Amino acid sequence: MTRLGHTQALLGPELFKQVRETPVLVVGAGGIGCELLKNLVLVGFANIEIIDLDTIDLSNLNRQFLFRKPDISKSKALVAAATARHFNPSSGIHIHARHGNVKESSNDLEWIKGFGLVMNALDNMDARRHVNRLCQAAGVPLIESGTAGYLGQVSPMMRDQTECFDCVPKQAPKSFPVCTIRSTPSEPIHCIVWAKSYLFGKLFGEDDEAVDTEELDKAQAEGENAEEIENLKKEAAAFREVRQALGEENGPARVFSKVFNADINRLLAMEDMWKVPGRVKPKPLEVDAIMDGSFVPPPLRTASKETNGQANGKKEETANGNQAVLKDQRELSLKENLELFVDSCRRLSARAIAHPDIVLSFDKDDDDTLDFVLATANLRATAYGIPNRTRFQVKEMAGNIIPAIATTNAIIAGLIVMQSINLLQKKYGAIRLPHLKADPTKPLSKQERTNPDPKCPVCRDVYVLFKTDVTRCTLGEFAQGAVREWLASSLNEDDFEFTILEGGRILADPDFEDNYEKTLAELGIERGKMLTILDEDEKYRPIHFCICEPAVNATTSFTLPDKCPQIPLRPVAPAPPQGSPSPEPEIIEALPLSVTSTISTKRGRADDGDVSLGSDALKKRKVDVEANGTVDGEDDDDIIVLE
């Protein structure tokens, strides 16, 4: 029996032929991607494309078994493909590997339509959303997956049959108020975020005074303590003086004196700040007292004592004396943290002086930056009576590392292949959402498939393949030919008023046609992007025209499908109960595309009861862009996000 004989006998000749012939896209060649690629080859999938932008790192080798030490710094996709071919060398399997970004302009709607199955093995939200939108637009089945330690899940998705990735709300990234991070930390993570996202950037990152001022102004506008904000502004100005002295012999000492002594004394002088119940006053650190062992750290906070030992100036002999403890898992003494702070400051200063054109940034795999964050976070924690963390813990928390286990990846990769068989047979009723749990008595559970969310701004919208030469087609030609003549006529709408958007940019609407004479290229629109149509009466779902390469030997500036797809109506919101108060008026500012599907761009009339964007307000959102122009949205500057 051949190597694929067992698979052929199990699946039967017809399904096995389908497996052999179906083109499959694997996005990601990391922990799940390596196991998945190996499984696909062994099952007999013969037409595989794999894409990944990442390169192989030493830390990958303990769980990504298609890579070896000589492969470090090479492309994950290329090496994974080369290794996987050896699992089935004589079976005619073709693996096309690409070292690139799945969001590249060449990876457009027409490209994704060339696959029968797409399998996500990604580790970031932005790429997942992008692939999901492409698959929903193309009607190509997608299998989403993910792992975290002993936990894992597989989610098969098919347009109109199951919910899509964006149908389910996602957990917001962990964020912390500015004043908590800079003035009143209470947990180790607060100190780590301060060291990584604030102090490191102030000393070695790009010096951006405007951004810092804007961040503090926004925090004050959101209601944070005004006196505290003013003090933080003075602190930011003082940092610029210290930063300039970093290259001097006493540079680290000046930084230490400012950050761990002067700034803490300044905070202590703000008596009202410490009247808040639960807040603990910090204790300024003194270099001489730490070095000669006479410094007495403040007691550990009661709520945190159980979290991580007592090497925060306590039981120092235990932390230092246990030589069997691995270096990265040993808590440093207070003196060791001070010495590491001075040493890492000197190393980073030398790098900054040697390469002034390169802005330093934190990297969990960069010993210099990790040592700095470790030392400064622990010194700050000591001052506030917060337990210290080991190098391993700081690396995990600052690098936002999700524990990865090879066995979990292998199980999830196997479940992906099993679900792919159901999708190939179009057995949508047999689709299940398997979950892997940290429960030895019942590690696997399943969830029945869920129908699409009727309000989903991704899978409920309409997508149209729009082949065009962006250097020839003007926005006016698109508006007239694609929207008024092709789209509006199929809707039997004689007076169809609409707004044209790209991403978060409004390019045109009934009162703004200044961009009509410009080509799409002049407006920064290229292959892979989408032009979105919102009707002014909010009657229909948004329609997205997906920009693709022009047809071969095309005589016109664009071509459209022969038949316009059915455009569904927007879901009608339920009427409020009788007697309930009317909602407060709301003014909506420019929003990104992910939410424009559900907002109104309709201008209010004099007799309208609600407040919507009037003509003047709407024109503030207009974009008269040059190539690649964008509109910057407002960030939540009053929080710090741990990336």
Q: Say which range, 26-30, 459-463, 486-490, has the weakest mean pLDDT.
A: 486-490
In the predicted structure, residue 73 carries a pLDDT above the cut 50? yes
The predicted pLDDT at position 615 comes to 36
Q: How far apart are CA 435 and CA 20, in angstroms?
A: 28
Q: Which two tokens stand for residue 371?
A: 């040592």
DSSP secondary structure string for all residues of 1-18: --TTHHHHHHH-HHHHHH
In tens, the pLDDT along 509-537 reads 999 999 999 999 999 999 999 999 999 99
**Which range is most confident: 312-326, 389-403, 533-547?**
533-547
Can you tell me whether residue 461 is helix, strand or coil? coil
pTM of the model: 0.72
Task: Tell me the pairing of strands 94-99 and 47-52.
Answer: parallel
- Residue 167 marked ligand-binding: yes
- Residue 473 marked ligand-binding: no
In the predicted structure, residue 605 carries a pLDDT above the cut 60? no
The predicted pLDDT at position 626 comes to 40
Residue with the bigger pLDDT between 186 and 635: it is 186
Helices (H), 223-262: 226-244, 251-257
* Residue 120: strand pairing partners: 27
**Across the chain, what does the average pLDDT equal?**
83
* Residues taking part in catalysis: 179
Torsion sign across C-alpha atoms 287, 293, 294, 296: positive
* Residue 462: strand pairing partners: 543
Q: What is the CA radius of gyration of the chain?
A: 29
The CA-based dihedral angle spanning residues 9, 11, 13, 15, taken in that order and rounded to the nearest 10 degrees: -170
Q: Which two tokens stand for residue 580?
A: 């309930």
- Residue 126 marked ligand-binding: yes
The predicted pLDDT at position 464 comes to 96
The structural domains of the chain, ordered by start, are 5-170+404-448 (3.40.50.720), 183-398 (1.10.10.520), 461-570+586-624 (3.10.290.20)
Distances (CA, A) of 355 to 239, 242, 349, 360, 588: 21, 19, 10, 9, 45
The CA-based dihedral angle spanning residues 486, 491, 495, 496, taken in that order and rounded to the nearest 10 degrees: -70
pLDDT band of residue 577 (cuts 50, 70, 90) is: low
Mean pLDDT of 167-194: 85
The predicted pLDDT at position 227 comes to 67
Q: Is 333 exposed, middle or buried (0-12, 13-18, 19+ CB in 10 A)?
A: buried
In the predicted structure, residue 304 carries a pLDDT above the cut 60? no
In tens, the pLDDT along 418-442 reads 999 999 999 888 888 999 998 889 9
The predicted pLDDT at position 580 comes to 57
In tens, the pLDDT along 228-237 reads 677 666 766 7
- Residue 31 marked ligand-binding: yes
Mean pLDDT of 62-89: 94
The predicted pLDDT at position 371 comes to 96
pLDDT band of residue 206 (cuts 50, 70, 90) is: confident
Residue 338 parent element (H or E): helix 334-354
- Residue 135 marked ligand-binding: no
The predicted pLDDT at position 494 comes to 80
